[in-house]
Amino acid sequence: MLAIRSQFSNHFNYNASLVVKSPGRINLIGEHIDYNYGFVLPAAIDKFIEVAIGKRTDGAIHMVAVDLGETIIVPMHNLQPHATAWVNYIIGVVDQVFNNLASIENNLSGNENNFAKIKDDFNGGFSICIQGNIPLGAGLSSSAALECAVLFALNELYSLSLTKMQMALMAQTAEHKFAGLHCGLMDMFASLHGQKNKAILLDCDSLAFTYYPLALNDYSIVLFDTQIKHALASSEYNTRRLECEQGLKIIQEKYPTVKTFRDISLEQVEACLVSKVYQRCKYVVEEIQRVQLAVQDLAKGDMQAFGKKMFETHKGLSSLYEVSCPELDLLVAAVSNNENVLGARMMGGGFGGCTINIIKKTAVEEIAKELAAIYKKQMHKELAVYITSIEEGTHIVEGTHLVA
Ligand code: GLA
């Protein structure tokens, strides 16, 4: 495969101004609680999307998805959700730039001439080539990586002065509006803010965050990819969000001082809620507490205790929150009594995708082989295995720079 810069110049007959790389993410613990204003512990990984970008003057966005061999052209204005899924992650963030011109002007602190020029320039459109190695549908946030790569590139190209947090929030809204997934902030946040060998504790209420060194020593983070994505993933995701909002509202009616799930005790959940809404909210309250304890384990270097909590999270996601599936449950059950596996659980939105595992390095190969055989025998599918490293978040690829 040609480097992305060459792809760009071959396709557009001019040179890209810059190349931006944006990673996928893992999440160690804190699942389905970003949109419930809890805490999450994600990290950026060694799988990424790369974009090469350059300005245009014809008022259009020219997009090439190299891996898919597809080219799509869309006018800059009146952007609407597009029939081709990947296009939405690009035009969704462009739409967000238009919607956030006021805060961009604000960031430029009243330099009106500058702002007028930026707006003018931006209206001219841009060309973009994308390629990457994040497996699609595996729950590693390829869509967030693409949104963040594009937004970060636009921010550089047009000197928009957006902060990483502003970009994360804009990418999240783009996903809501253009992809229809009412996701939380975690994926975009992690892709943009990742640091090498560090996990990031994000407080999804205050948006404060802290980096935690991940000293795994003899252990590796291994992802087992079911290579399936059940069709109901996105609709069930949105339903879970609504069920939680419903539960929170009921509890707030009885306890008006409650602001978010963090203020809620298990006793209150027991006292106020029933059936599915009860199950969902019980999981959320437990998971919020679990993450806070898990972070203490991490700080002490007690990875045994940390791993145990990952198994507990899986149990909650599977039996209370009901976002797992037989394939994920099988992969977690198969390692649950293995002394070389500290922790395992389904990761991300669920209904397919990957499990995340902390496995003794010397045992990874054997366990992966064993699991692939079990998976093949019981589910008649191939297992994909990714041994992951924790990497830097969205950045400009060295050696590329802006042409004035
Ligand atoms: C998806 C969403 C995230 C988060 C996870 C579950 O990845 O995009 O916002 O809710 O699911 O933790």
Atom index in ligand 1 nearest the CA of residue 186 equals: 9
Give residue 231's pLDDT.
Answer: 77
Contact 96, 30 (CB under 8 A): no
Looking only at the bridges linking them, the beta strands covering 18-27 and 395-396 are antiparallel
Six token digits for residue 388: 């992951």
* Confidence at residue 401, expressed as pLDDT on a 0 to 100 scale: 60
Residue with tokens 């001082």: 257
Is ligand 1 within 6 A of the CB of residue 42?
no
Q: Using the atom order of ligand 1, give the atom closest to the CA of residue 141.
A: 7
Span 78-97, average pLDDT:
97
Residue 148 Cα to ligand 1 midpoint, Å, equals: 15
Closest C-alpha residue for ligand 1 atom 1: 349
For residue 161, is it left (φ>0), alpha (ψ between -120 and 50) or beta? left
Q: Which residues pair with 27 in a beta bridge?
A: 42
Average pLDDT score over the chain: 95
Q: Which residue bears the tokens 């309250």?
A: 285
Do residues 34 and 53 touch, judged by C-beta distance below 8 A?
A: no
- Pairing type for strands 42-55 and 384-388 reads unpaired
* Best probe residue, ligand 1, of 32, 89, 207, 347 (max atoms within 8 Å of C-beta): 32
Distances (CA, A) of 159 to 57, 324, 394, 395: 17, 42, 16, 15
Given a cut of 90, whether residue 186 has pLDDT beyond it is yes
What pLDDT, on the 0 to 100 scale, is given for residue 404? Answer: 38
Cα 262 to ligand 1 centroid, rounded to whole Å: 18
pLDDT tens per residue across span 332-378: 999 999 999 999 999 999 999 999 999 999 999 999 999 999 999 99
Q: State residue 201's pLDDT score.
A: 98
Q: How far is CA 73 from CA 30, 127, 141, 174, in A?
A: 39, 9, 24, 19
Going from the C-alpha of 92 to that of each of 39, 97, 136, 156, the distances in angstroms are 26, 9, 18, 18
For residue 241 and ligand 1, the question of a CB distance below 6 A is answered with no
Q: What is the DSSP string of 356-382?
A: EEEEEGGGHHHHHHHHHHHHHHHH---
Of 240, 284, 237, nearest in space to 31 by CA: 284
**Gap between the Cα atoms of 225 and 203, Å rounded:** 28
187 in active site: yes
| Tokens at 37, concatenated | 């204003």
Q: How many Å lie between the centroid of ligand 1 and the Cα of residue 30? A: 10
Task: Determine which helix (DSSP H) or strand (DSSP E) holds 353, and give its type and residue range.
Answer: strand 352-360
pTM (2 decimals)? 0.96
Nearest CA to ligand 1 atom 2: 183
| Residue 399 confidence class, pLDDT cut points 50, 70, 90 | low
The pLDDT of residue 362 is 98
d(CA 346, CA 352): 8
Residues 375, 155: Cα–Cα separation, whole Å: 44
Question: Choosing from 187, 203, 225, 302, which is the catalytic residue?
Answer: 187
